[in-house]
Amino acid sequence: MSVRLNNKNILVSAAGQGIGRASAIACAREGARVFAVDINEATLATLVEECPEIQVHKLDVCDRGQINALAEKLPQLDGLFNCAGFVHHGSVLDISEEDWTFSFDLNVTSMYRMIQAFLPGMRERAKVQGTASILNMSSMASSLKGFPVRTLYGTTKAAVLGLTKGVAADFVQEGIRCNALCPGTVDTPSLRGRIASAPDPVEAEKNFIARQPMGRLATVDDMTPMVVYLLSDESRFVSGQALLVDGGVTI
């Protein structure tokens, strides 16, 4: 059995489906004690069926009270993967104030809340273990590249990079590392939802594939090796970075 995350306590948000779920399972298979959180209890229940060693908790990452209560309950973390996020569709002219507030709350502010709640325990843990790792979900659609109808999404994911670098800079001397994952287009339930809700779903899928120069969408399994690496001690000299796993889109 592989044990790259042996003896590590790792929390993954948005773990009910998609990249978060695959990451929670990959971390458990590498020996971590995984705490998987999501707002959706039904998908968390299927996660436990698939991987019984994972401990699941219903959590709304937009609710500071729930987050703080969970932080009190859980052991100190070695790894925190802030994965939750939402993709707004539209140009700047389509974004309502409500859209703006919602996307920033879920995609950015939630990470600030989670880090504030769990970092004190991670600092203690790093004193003993030498290191602890925060991973924030960004995207190739951020400050790294612009995409049509992704202005609000890209703005929030660029903010995630600023948050990541700030946290990395403040705690680097304590062994706390903070990095961001920037995926290309990944085949997940929410991507399938975006394709299905397009006026022409067949054309929409073709267009998503066309923007990936390798000629295919990423799978969640294309993402998990980088997640495991960034949460493991193998990346102990890596901090403050935006790591692209985009199949060459930004070549």
Three-state secondary structure call for residue 34: strand
If we measure between CA atoms, which residue out of 83, 75, 87, 85 comes closest to residue 35?
75
- We find the least distance from the C-beta atom of residue 193 to ligand NAD, in angstroms, to be 8
The yes-or-no answer on residue 112 being catalytic is no
In this complex, which beta carbon is closest to ligand NAD, that of residue 48 or of residue 172?
A: 48
Q: Which residues contact residue 39 at a Cβ distance below 8 angstroms, ignoring those fewer than 6 apart?
A: 16, 58, 59, 60, 61
Catalytic residue among 66, 153, 154, 191: 153
- What's the min distance (Å) between Cβ of 154 and ligand NAD? 10
Instruction: Please report, as ranges, the residues that interact with ligand NAD according to CB under 6 A.
Output: 13-14, 16-20, 38-40, 43, 59-62, 83-85, 87, 106, 137, 139, 183, 185-186, 188-191
Return the ∠ at Cα 135 (arms to 141 and 224), rounded to 5°.
80
- The HSE-up count of residue 99 (CA atoms within 13 Å, CB side) is 15
From the number of C-beta atoms within 10 Å of its C-beta (0-12, 13-18, 19+), residue 40 rates as middle
Q: Which helix (H) or strand (E) holds 242?
A: strand 242-245
Tell me whether residue 24 or residue 126 sits nearer to ligand NAD (CB atom).
24
Kindly report the length of the chain.
251
Question: Shortest approach of ligand NAD to residue 23 CB, angstroms?
Answer: 9
User: Which burial class, exposed, middle or buried, applies to 230 when counting CB atoms under 10 A from its CB (0-12, 13-18, 19+)?
Assistant: buried
Considering the complex, state which of residue 88 and residue 125 has its C-beta at the smaller distance from ligand NAD: 88
DSSP 76: P
Indicate the residue whose CB is closest to ligand NAD: 85
Nearest CB to ligand NAD, comparing residues 87 and 167: 87
Question: Whole-number minimum distance, CB 221 to ligand NAD, in Å?
Answer: 12
Give the residue numbers marked as catalytic. 153
